[in-house]
Each structure stands twice: as C-alpha cells, then as structure tokens.
C-alpha cells in the first residue's frame, strides 16, 4: 500500500518528459498517453482509498544520497480519500481534453503542465513534512497560472495568468510563515510531530492559533477566498 502512496503522485510527474518526447512523434499518441497515465493514477488512488484501514497514519521516508534530499509521505484516511477524488477528477479532465483541445496549438505544453499540476496536487496531499508540502503548494500555483495563461497570444489570458500568480502569492507567504513558525518552535517540519505536539499541548495556545490562522490565510489566498476575492 505504501508503494501506491509514492506512485500516485510521482507517476504523473515522471511522465512529463515522455509527453514531450511523444509530442515530437505523434500528437495522438501523446494525448492518449496522458489519458492512460491519469487512468492508472486514478486506479492507484482508488486502491489507496479502498485498502487503507489503519486508524492512524503511515509514514515512509526516501533519502536521495547524492543531493541529500529527504522525501517523506504520510498516509491517513483523509489523504487516501483525497487521492482517489483528485486522481479520478483529473482523469475525467484529461479525457475530456482530448476532444476539447483538438486542433489547438501547444498541446504538448498543455498536457505537460496538466500532468505536473496533477502530480503536484497529489504530492501536496501525500506530503509528510511541511517543506515538501510547501514545494508542491508552489508547484500547484505555478502550473495553475501557466494553464490560465495557456492562450498566451491573447492579452486577456496573459493578464489573467499574471493576476492568478500575483494574488496567490499572498497565501504562499502566509503558509511559508506558518512553516517557519513550526520550524522555530519544534525544530522540525515533520507533520506527524506537529500533530502530536498540538495534541499534547507541547506548543502553547497562542502559537497554535498563529499557525492555524497563517495556514487558513494561505488556503484562502490559494482558493481566491475572501479577502483576496475582492483584490482579484
């Protein structure tokens, strides 16, 4: 099951270079390759949701020695359910795109961005530490802005993409501050450690409330909720 948790977000991301390569060979193959990738991702997502039965979360860490990178995932009932929901909707969107985007220019760029977007959303859901969560959070915002501005020959599309990028930066700053507060307070960005510390009241109430408010502002900024809806 833990292998599925790694695959559900990494599969769309590692498929991006193949989309680029296939796009140079055949547009039809490229499009249906993207459909197959998202279909497999949805199957993995549903497998996670159906097989996860633990009352607690499950953790897995992968170290990449040459770069000293530490990747961590944390799976619980909510993340498993969200992975199924996100991956299934993503599959439907990509399947619909095959017909909707027919004849449009820049489809290799479109399918590359949307697979990276899907992988980033799922990576955010599965993140086991706040640094990883923030990285995927930023990737979602960047991909979203580029997709909004996909028709770059249209001034209104470029303006909309730029507006989305700028507005969501407010939420990103708030989330980054939350990560820094957690790191300063606990000396770690591990989500499990944070949850445990809050449950055991290791962190004082004021700090807990500050972290909660910053995360809320971050989510509001990302989803164009108030007050950023007014600014947009």
Q: Which domain holds residue 94?
A: 1-128
115 & 45 share domain: yes
Question: Which residue, chain included where needed, has tokens 């949701």?
Answer: 49
* 222 within 8 A of 171, measured Cβ to Cβ: yes
Q: What is the sign, positive or negative, of the torsion defined by CA atoms of 203, 199, 194, 215?
A: negative
pLDDT score recorded for residue 224: 58
The answer as to whether 210 is a domain residue is yes
CB-side exposure of 124: number of CA atoms within 13 Å? Answer: 19
Peptide bond into 227 cis (omega under 30): yes
pLDDT exceeds cutoff 50 at 177: yes
pLDDT exceeds cutoff 80 at 65: no
pLDDT score recorded for residue 85: 95
Q: What is the pLDDT of residues 131-152, one digit of tens each?
A: 999 999 999 989 998 999 888 8
73 & 32 share domain: yes
The answer as to whether 195 is a domain residue is yes
The answer as to whether 166 is a domain residue is yes
pLDDT score recorded for residue 64: 75
The answer as to whether 72 is a domain residue is yes
pLDDT score recorded for residue 226: 54
The model carries a pTM of 0.88
DSSP-based three-state secondary structure for 211: helix
87 & 161 share domain: no
Q: How far apart are alpha carbons 145 and 143 in whole angstroms? A: 5
Q: What is the sign, positive or negative, of the torsion defined by CA atoms of 67, 18, 142, 78?
A: negative
The angle formed by the CA atoms of residues 159, 103 and 113, to the nearest 5 degrees, is 50
The answer as to whether 38 is a domain residue is yes
What rounded mean pLDDT belongs to the chain?
88
Distance between the two ends of the chain, CA-based, in angstroms? 42
Helix ranges restricted to H, the chain = 2-14, 16-23, 27-51, 77-100, 107-126, 130-148, 155-186, 191-199, 205-222, 228-231
179 vs 228, more confident: 179
Number of domains in the chain: 2
């Amino acid at each position: 099951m833990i292998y599925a948790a790694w695959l559900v977000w990494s599969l769309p991301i590692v498929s991006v270079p193949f989309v680029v390569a296939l796009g140079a060979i055949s547009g039809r193959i490229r499009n249906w390759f993207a459909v197959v990738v998202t279909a497999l991702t949805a199957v993995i997502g549903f497998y996670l949701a159906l097989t996860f039965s633990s009352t607690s979360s499950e953790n897995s860490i992968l170290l990449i020695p040459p770069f000293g990178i530490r990747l961590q995932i944390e799976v619980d009932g909510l993340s498993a359910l969200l992975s199924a929901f996100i991956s299934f909707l993503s599959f439907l969107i990509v399947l619909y795109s095959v017909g909707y985007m027919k004849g449009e220019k820049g489809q290799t760029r479109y399918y590359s961005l949307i697979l990276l977007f899907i992988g980033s959303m799922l990576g955010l859901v599965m993140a086991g530490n706040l640094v990883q969560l923030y990285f995927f959070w930023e990737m979602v915002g960047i991909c979203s802005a580029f997709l909004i501005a996909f028709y770059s020959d249209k001034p209104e599309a470029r303006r909309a993409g730029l507006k989305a990028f700028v507005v969501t930066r407010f939420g990103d700053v708030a989330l980054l501050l939350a990560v820094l507060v957690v790191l300063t307070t606990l000396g770690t960005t591990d989500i499990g450690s944070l949850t445990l510390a809050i449950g055991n009241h290791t962190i004082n109430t004021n700090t807990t409330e500050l972290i909660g408010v910053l995360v809320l502002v971050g989510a509001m900024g990302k989803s164009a909720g108030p007050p950023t809806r007014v600014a947009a």
